[in-house]
Amino acid sequence: MAKYRIAWLPGDGVGKDVLDAARIVLDALKLDAEYVHGDIGWEFWCREGNPLPERTIEMLKTTDCALFGAITSKPQKEAEEELAPELKGKGLQYRSPIVRLRQLFDLYINLRPAKAYKGNPLNIKEGIDLVIFRENTEDLYFGVEFHPVPEEMRKIPGMERVPADAAVSLKVITPKGAERIIRAAFEYAKKKGRKKVTCVHKANVVRLSDGLFLDTAKRIAEEYPDIEFDHANVDAMCMWLVKNPERYDVLVAPNLYGDIISDLASQLVGGLGFASAANIGDNYAVFEPVHGSAPKYAGQYKVNPIATILAVKLMLEYLREEEKAEKLERAVAEVIEEGKVKTYDMGGENTTLEVAEEIAKKVS
Ligand code: NAI
Ligand code: MG
């Protein structure tokens, strides 16, 4: 039996292309793993009315973690139109599989590195090497919304200012939710020898929820005297990240701010072809490139596999295969610096698989 059982979730469009690339480097690294294919994505919505079938969820429960490509999603009206005839008119609602996975497995950490690999023509600046810890389950994504506002709710003191016809979305930050993501950020900094953790918030305006997040960060920071701690408002943070990104190290933020700053940060170091993410909980994790299914490139093996290969690196770290993770990252860095083999986004003409093979050569 193999040491690891890894769920293999290519999904739609270029998700398949980039997972083929991932497999090339995993095989070259000789990871002792068994890869188990899982059905996920648009095809299963259309055919079965569920983009994340129950059999896939059951399979995931038997694995150590998952590598996910990308999925196509469309607004409800279009989704309804593409359903198989026998499924139409049954009130089926499309739900994003990746959001469902985060909820099902309580994957509360969204880890997004942004690193300027030397020689990447797309870097805005050299010296950028930051890691964002985005809380992945709460905040405005908690899912409690009202429209119109229930009369009962408008009786709560303060709520009378909210018109009945308003749409209201609750921003929920819990002590447990704040603590576990902030602790994860500090533990990561400690383990990786990183120097600073910056808490991103808007506590001067959103006083109670962001205030709770910031106070929690300040309290936990005291337990890590060797790690510098600071904090900034999210708007200022966006400005600083554009101006002096090399000054930041580990950032920790509630869900929405984390979503925004991580997309901003990815664009500083090459954009979607380089952006990888890990969704991590206490018992499971899902690794993915940040990009979507890029339908216009589906099956053409044109897109950059580096985002996915860096997601593989995060997966190897999660599996405590540190040596393989480092080896893989070094190989990626070398291939970027040599600049001989590159996909279209970097100004090259190589295929997804040629880039993966070049990286694989350096790890085998
Ligand atoms: P997208 O990320 O799929 O592609 C946008 C554009 O970015 C592409 O046309 C391409 O020019 C570029 N790009 C993407 N990945 C690249 C790579 N690896 N290398 C080089 N260039 C790359 O976003 P889009 O077009 O907005 O969405 C397409 C579909 O993907 C939609 O159905 C959307 O809902 C879904 N989506 C899924 C995500 C996921 O599965 N995690 C995330 C984002 C979008
Ligand atoms: Mg986003």
**Residue 263 a catalytic site member:** yes
pLDDT at 151: 93
pLDDT at 99: 86
The total number of residues shown for the chain amounts to: 364
Ligand 2 center to 289 CA (angstroms): 11
Ligand 1 neighbours, Cβ below 6 Å, are 70-73, 98, 272-273, 288, 291-296, 303-304, 307, 345
Phi, psi of 69 (to 5 degrees): -85, -90
Considering 94, 108, 117, 141, which one is annotated as catalytic? Answer: 141
Phi, psi of 59 (to 5 degrees): -65, -45
Comparing CA positions, the residue from 118, 132, 133, 134 lying closest to residue 269 is 118
Tokens of 273: 């072809």
DSSP, residue by residue, 129-198: EEEEEEE-SSBTTS--EESS--TTGGGSTTGGGS-TT--EE--B--HHHHHHHHHHHHHHHHHHT--EEE
Tokens of 292: 């979507």
Tokens of 180: 């576990």
pLDDT at 302: 98
Q: Is 111 left (phi over 0), alpha (psi -120 to 50) or beta?
A: beta
Considering 263, 297, 345, 362, which one is annotated as catalytic? Answer: 263
What architecture (CATH level 2) is domain 124-138+173-268? 3-Layer(aba) Sandwich (3.40)
Comparing CA positions, the residue from 61, 32, 25, 62 lying closest to residue 321 is 32
Q: Which residue has the tokens 């059982």?
A: 5
DSSP, residue by residue, 179-192: HHHHHHHHHHHHHH
Q: Hey, whose CA ends up nearest to atom 26 of ligand 1?
A: 292
pLDDT at 301: 98
* Cβ 52 vs Cβ 99: under 8 Å: no
**For the chain, which ranges sit under pLDDT 50?**
none
Considering 259, 284, 302, 342, which one is annotated as catalytic? Answer: 259
pLDDT at 143: 84
Tokens of 201: 């918030």
pLDDT at 185: 98
Selecting from 3.30.300.180, 3.30.450.40, 3.30.1360.230, 3.40.718.10, what CATH number does the domain 1-113+272-364 have?
A: 3.40.718.10
Q: What is the value of pTM for the model shown?
A: 0.95
Alpha-carbon radius of gyration of the chain: 21
Minimum-distance ligand to the CA of 14? 1
**Residue 188 a catalytic site member:** no
Ligand 2 center to 260 CA (angstroms): 7
Where are the domains positioned within the chain? 1-113+272-364, 124-138+173-268, 140-172
Q: CA-CA distance, 337 to 182, in Å (whole number)?
A: 34
Residues with CB under 5 A from ligand 2 (ion): 259
Strand segments (E) across the chain: 4-11, 33-37, 65-70, 109-115, 129-135, 145-146, 168-169, 196-201, 228-233, 250-253, 276-280, 285-289
Ligand 1 center to 187 CA (angstroms): 32
Q: Which atom of ligand 1 is found nearest the CA of 304? A: 19
